[in-house]
Structure 1
Amino acid sequence: MNIKDIGPDPQSFDLEKATVGNTDYRTVAWSGKYLQLTLMSIPVGEDIGLEAHPETDQFLRLDAGRGRVQMGPAKDRLDFEQEVEDGWAIFVPAGTWHNVTNIGDEPMQLYAVYAPVHHAPGRVHATAADAEADEEAGGDEPPSWSVQPVRQPSDKHA
């Protein structure tokens, strides 16, 4: 299934099929005015990367695989830990340090909903390294039509 981010226009597709079929680290599937949907595929033994979004709430749902989610108020104080699998949801409050590690024996397929919008529309990153390089180069910015906090602090990465 090939999803095209059409911006803030109405969209509908089989989310579970798209998530399970996604083989890229991160694919931006839909970008609205207030929230955004990304599809993620995390290889065995890898993770999404320890990070915190100061002004962004996040919802993640696993559609395949097994993971361990860790969250907390500081990167060295991840006092919440839970194993998750297909069908589980993860809620990340703004400003919370978080990471999800694939602890299974197959790719971990999940989707993430960000509010507010966090990534450039339609952006596809085959690997975590590609995503990091794009962010460092300033190429992964929210679209102009999205509503952003008045003061947008930078994300924090460990």
Structure 2
Amino acid sequence: MKGFVDNIERLTEENGDFRRVLYTGHNLQLVLMSINPGDEIGEEVHEDRDQFFRIEDGEGEIWIDGVCNRVKADDGVIVPQGARHNVISTGKTPLRLYTIYGPPEHVDGTVHGTCAEANTSHEHFDGVTTE
């Protein structure tokens, strides 16, 4: 099959991994995330890529250049390239979301089960796409 077709809401809500790359194209990458209560992705800046977040479950904060944006299910957020940002899970259940990077950020097929595992990994997109 060419491309990616599936029920993204179901996949996101069922995902228990901190980070799971589902599909990598030349210009976009689809990634599921599940951030446990009290955890965060850590402050970062992508100088060369935009990022879209869609919240499917839980509550959290997405900080963009020092501004706190409280988020919950059904919210969407775009972080433009060059913006300092962080995603923090503030609810009692995991913050479950999917994110789209343009261009890709991670190696295709990457799975980080936990935030700690992701923090020790230093992988970055290597130019290899899903298909």
Tell me which amino acid in the other structure corresponds to 1:25.
F
Aligned pair partner of 2:29 in 36, 53, 60: 36
Following the alignment from structure 1 to structure 2, what is the Cα–Cα distance between the partners of residues 105 and 132? 23
Residues in 1 aligned to 2:89 and 2:22: alpha-carbon distance in whole angstroms: 22
The answer to which structure has the higher strand fraction is 2
> Secondary structure of the equivalent of 1:99?
strand
Q: Distance in 1 between matches of 2:4 and 2:62?
A: 30
User: 19, 43, 57: which is aligned to 1:26?
Assistant: 19
Flag as ranges the 4+ runs of structure 1 deviating above 4 A: none
Selected match of 2:90 from 92, 95, 103? 103
**Aligned mates of 1:46, 1:66 — CA distance in 2:** 12
Shift of 1:113: 0.2
Letter in 2 for 1:91: I
2-structure distance, mates of 1:12, 1:92: 24
Higher CA-based Rg: 1
How many correspondences in the alignment?
A: 129
Partner of 2:74: 87
Give the superposed CA RMSD: 1.4
- Deviation, 1:145, is 4.4
Q: Give the TM-score normalised by structure 1.
A: 0.78
* Secondary structure in 2 matching 1:46: coil
SS, match of residue 20 in structure 1: helix
- Alpha-carbon displacement from aligned partner over 1:75-100 (angstroms, at most 9, x marks no partner): xxx1x212110000111000101011
Whether 2:110 is the aligned partner of 1:123: answer yes
Deviation at residue 124 of structure 1 after TM alignment: 0.2
Q: Note the C-alpha offset of 1:52.
A: 0.7
Secondary structure of 1:60's aligned partner? strand
For structure 1, list consecutive stretches of 5 or more residues without a partner in the other structure: 1-5, 73-77, 147-158
1:144: how far off? 2.5
TM-score normalised by length of structure 2 = 0.93
| Residues 1-158 of structure 1 mapped to structure 2, 5 A cutoff | 9-72=2-65, 78=66, 80-135=67-122, 140-145=123-128
